[in-house]
Amino acid sequence: MNNENIKILAIESSCDETSAAVVENGRTVLSNVVVSQIDEHKLYGGVVPEIASRRHVEAITAVVDKALSDANLSLSELSAIGVTYAPGLIGALLVGTNFAKGLSYASGLPLIPVHHLRSHIASNYITNPDLKPPFLCLVVSGGHSHIVMVEDYTKMKIIGKTRDDAAGEAFDKVARVIGMPYPGGVNLDKKAESGCDTAYTLPRPKIADSPYDFSFSGLKTAALNLIHNSEQRGESINIENLCASYRRAVVGCLTDNFIKAAKDLNCRKLVIAGGVSANTLLRRELERICTEQGYEFYKPELKYCGDNGAMVAAQAFYELKSGHIAELSLNAAATKSIESDF
Ligand code: KG4
Ligand code: ZN
């Protein structure tokens, strides 16, 4: 296959963003259209799956059209159609998957199934053109928290993962209780910047027999108890300080396990990905640790941290090169391991 001009159109609809993008050779973004539904889900304090599916149906045709016109390309000039088929909200995934199947059938272009977390990792190929596997990646989103050994572009091994809540979920739940709109992670991050991170003492749960796994539910409950106990005693909580202390605890759990895994596996190249990789402290801390300890450190540009079609098209390029082409019988799946091809 000639690598010089492989242009892939890819679609992302796994949660609350309808997105389509065209990326060349897995690295150069020619267009990236993202339509967010956040304002509507905010009314309910979280994503309502049925509403998400309906909004994807309404938006997808215009989003794909705009991705093609922004790239100044027609379907006949593309090499393949990529799509996020798993994991995520099943109704939402089905919209993108079925639309991509229709495009593939109509155009005769190959259909490339892309795992959502693999695509988050691939956001780094866009931002860091020289980045190549192998590397160790901390993938942290609203639904997942994994430490993954990326042995090759399409060969992944899970080294550690959360036993309960994902890091993004842990941020969002505490943010919601202190009255921040959905998704709270980014707002909590902003408030934390002006707080004192030693003001409140919070646990940093460890799992005895699995040093690379995470557990955030105990930490989250400790923060919620702290808030409720203060309310019952009529004491006011300093929101900035609580956000800073809580963010410090969550980020500490992530960086401790990640760096331990890197040391134990003797991996010198570290990468972060997923919505939570936008977190200011996580980026700052890993930058510091990696500089001090001599690791190479890569992170996606902020605009590619959240869900977007460009990262899907980037990963689709490598899936295509590995021969991962789906039949039109491809089905969406709410859960799927990052290790399995499709
Ligand atoms: O990857 P993503 O956009 O969607 C999923 O695949 O889940 O991740 C969304 C998650 C949400 O939980 C959101 O609150 C969190 O990423 N997030 C952040 C920040 N920006 C987004 N969490 C902490 N700090 C941030 N700056
Ligand atoms: Zn995501």
Measured from the Cβ of residue 320, the count of other Cβ atoms closer than 10 Å reads 21
Residue 297 CA to its chain's centroid (Å): 18
Q: Quick check: CB of 87 below 6 Å from ligand 1?
A: no
Quote the pLDDT of residue 84. Answer: 98
User: In a mutational test of the pocket of ligand 1, which residue from 121, 186, 251 has the highest number of ligand atoms less than 8 Å from its CB?
Assistant: 186
Angle, in degrees to the nearest 10, between helices 280-293 and 239-265 = 40
**Whole-number Cα distances in Å, 265 to 161, 259, 337:** 16, 10, 21
Q: From the CB of residue 213, how many other CB atoms can be counted at a distance below 10 Å?
A: 20
> Given the DSSP bridges, would you call strands 155-161 and 111-115 parallel, antiparallel or unpaired?
unpaired
CA of 107 to the centre of ligand 1 (A): 35
CB distance 88 to ligand 1 below 6 Å: no
Q: In sequence order, which ranges of 71-166 are alpha helices (DSSP H)?
A: 90-107, 116-127
Q: To test ligand 1's pocket by mutation, which of 220, 276, 302, 308 has the most ligand atoms within 8 angstroms of CB?
A: 276
The share of the chain scoring above pLDDT 70, in percent, equals 99
Instruction: Report long-range pairs for 259-266 (Cβ below 8 Å, ≥24 apart).
Output: 259/289, 259/293, 260/211, 260/212, 261/136, 261/147, 261/159, 261/160, 261/211, 261/212, 262/136, 262/295, 264/211, 265/136, 265/149, 265/159
Q: Domains, the chain, ranges and CATH?
A: 3-126+304-321 (3.30.420.40), 133-300 (3.30.420.40)
Instruction: Give yes or no for residue 1 having a pLDDT over 70.
Output: no
- Ligand 1 atom, smallest distance to 274 CA: 1
d(CA 341, CA 6): 21
Inform me whether the pLDDT recorded for 2 exceeds 60.
no
pLDDT surpassing 80 at residue 4? no
**Are residues 88 and 302 in contact, defined by beta-carbon separation less than 8 angstroms?**
no
Q: Give per-residue pLDDT as tens, 281-319.
A: 999 999 999 999 999 999 999 999 999 999 999 999 999
Does residue 3 register a pLDDT over 70? no
CA of 141 to the centre of ligand 1 (A): 5
CA separation for the pair 50, 39 (Å, rounded): 15
pLDDT digits (tens, 9 = 90+) for 112-163: 999 999 999 999 999 999 999 999 999 999 999 999 999 999 999 999 999 9
Nearest to 47 by CA among 70, 72, 71, 17: 17
What per-residue confidence (pLDDT) applies to 342? 81
What's the rounded Cα separation, in Å, for the pair 94 and 11?
11
pLDDT in tens, 262-279: 999 999 999 999 999 999
Whether 226 shows a pLDDT value over 80: the answer reads: yes
Write the DSSP string, 307-329: S-HHHHHHHHHHHHHTT--B-TT
d(CA 174, CA 225): 10
Q: Specify whether the CB–CB gap between 244 and 199 falls below 8 A.
A: yes
Give the separation between CA 256 and CA 240, rounded to whole angstroms.
24
83 CA distance to ligand 1 middle (Å) = 21
Q: Which residues contact 284 (CB under 8 A, 6 or more apart)?
A: none
Global pTM reads 0.97
What is the sign of the dihedral through the CA atoms of 281, 286, 289 and 291? negative
Segment 77-94 mean pLDDT: 98
The DSSP call for residue 46 is S
Rounded to an integer, what distance in angstroms lies between the CA atom of residue 191 and that of residue 247?
10
